[in-house]
Each structure stands twice: as structure tokens, then as C-alpha cells.
Amino acid sequence: MNKEKLKKAAFTLAETLLTLTIIGVIMALMLRSISRVNPDKDKILFIKSYHAIEESVANIITDASKYDQNTEEEGDFSYIPLGTAFAKINGTIYCTENWENPETEDEGGIKCDEANKKIKQKNALCYFLAEQINFIGGFSCEGGKDELNFKSTNGVCFYGWGEFSGESITGRVDPTCKGKGYGITVYKEGKMTVPSTADGVDAEMQKDAVRWMEEQTQIKN
């Protein structure tokens, strides 16, 4: 009697396989849902970096010593420092090449000498970004568009912020620090965009960056 009851209570092979198949389908659907809920690390770091640059640029263009609202020469960026602007990075003072009175301390007590006059118009934004964005290791604002300028404390790399061209500069933000990343364009009046294409970046990756920023600007109902 006990053996007969056990035989009746047991699952057949077909029933076992069917159960496992159903469990597998449910797990696959759950994993898809979970992957949609989990935040995209690259997306989060890119958006944070974009807003960090945005805040830095806003600070620059509202600082009279770094952005001369009344002076704009052809080919120059009006927010690039004119007169007595300087950046203080890791305790070192970097003065603009056209510092008006290098032998005199300014109102803030900062003294600039000839040796400190390192900031040029083409790379001034790079220095001021380095001044305001927390980074680890060194920084370089003198290199070309493919050179790493600095790496932020949250692990994001910033490339190509040392050269201006025409009315704007397109630098790259790379959450993976593998040398590609996503392009961000900054215009001389302070406007920022994520262009559809940019030099040195993967086209498909850039499409993701454009979509991420479009999602940021959408009004939620």
C-alpha cells in the first residue's frame, strides 16, 4: 500500500521537465525586469559629470574676473579669463597669460609672478574645470584633444578639454576611462549641448548620451 501511494505521489519525468521549463521562463522574465530597474552606471556617472561641468561653466561666466562680458575679440572665447583671473589648483596658482599686474597681489591676497602665468586662452576652460571638479592624480591642460586632462574622484575621466576651436570646445566624459566616452560641447556664451556626433567617441555610445540628456529634459506627467 505504501509503495502504491509513493508511486502515485511522485512526479513523472515529463512533469518535472515542464515544471523546470516554467520556472526558467519566469526567471528569464524576472531578470529582464530587474535589469530595467537597475540603474545604468555609465548613465549615472555621465549625467553627474555633465551637471558638474554645467555648474563649473555657470560659475565661470558669472565671475567678472574670468568672463569679461564687455570684451569679445574674433576667435576668442568671451568667458576665457581677461585681466586678473587665476585658478588655484591643489594649492598652486595658475595665472592668465595676460595678467595685468603680475608683481602686485590682488584683492584676494594672491600673488602671481611670471613663472605662474600658464593659462592661455585656448586652454583656460580646462584649468577652471580642474579647479572646480574634484580630481585625483595629476591634470594636463596643455595637450591635444586625445590627452587625458584629469580623473575625477568618482572615477570618471575627462579628455580633450585643453583646446578651443571657433566658437566652442567639445570635450569627452568617459565613465570607463578607456579613452572614448561621450562628447559634450561648451559654447563661449556658456550654453552646453550633447552633440549627435563628436570626434574620438563611438557613434552608438554618443547616441546613448543624447538619449540620456533628452530623458533629463522631458517633462514627466
Each residue of 58-75: pLDDT tens digit? 888 777 667 665 554 443
pLDDT at residue 102 tops 70: no
**Percent of the chain residues past pLDDT 70, beyond the cut:** 69
Q: What gap in Å lies between CA 88 and CA 30, rounded to an integer? A: 51
129, 90 contact by CB (below 8 A): no
Domain boundaries, position 166:
45-217
Q: Does 13 fall in a domain?
A: no
Does residue 38 have a pLDDT over 80? no
* Segment of 37-41, 88-92, 159-163, 191-195 carrying the highest mean pLDDT: 191-195
Q: Indicate the range of 65-69, 106-110, 140-144 predicted with least confidence.
A: 106-110
Residue 4 has pLDDT above 60, yes or no: no
The CA distance from 174 to 144, in Å, is 16
What is the rounded distance in angstroms from the CA atom of residue 27 to the CA atom of residue 32? 9
Taking residues 33-59, what's their average pLDDT? 81
User: Could you give the CA distance from residue 91 to residue 187 in angstroms, rounded to a whole number?
Assistant: 29
More confident residue, 1 or 113: 113
> What total number of domains does the chain contain?
1
Across the chain, what does the average pLDDT equal?
76
* Residue 40 covered by a domain: no
Most confident of 53-67, 81-95, 149-163: 149-163
Q: What is the mean pLDDT of residues 182-187?
A: 92
184 in any annotated domain: yes
Residue 31 domain-assigned?
no
Q: Is residue 69 part of a domain?
A: yes
For residue 151, tell me if it sits in a domain: yes
Tell me, yes or no, whether 98 lies in a domain.
Answer: yes
Burial class (CB in 10 A: 0-12, 13-18, 19+), 201: buried
Whole-number percent of the chain with pLDDT over 90: 23
Looking at per-residue pLDDT, the higher value among 124 and 148 belongs to: 148
Inside any domain, residue 15: no
Q: How confident is the model at residue 80 (pLDDT cuts 50, 70, 90)?
A: very low
Give backbone dihedrals phi and psi of 137, rounded to 5 degrees, phi first.
Answer: 80, -150
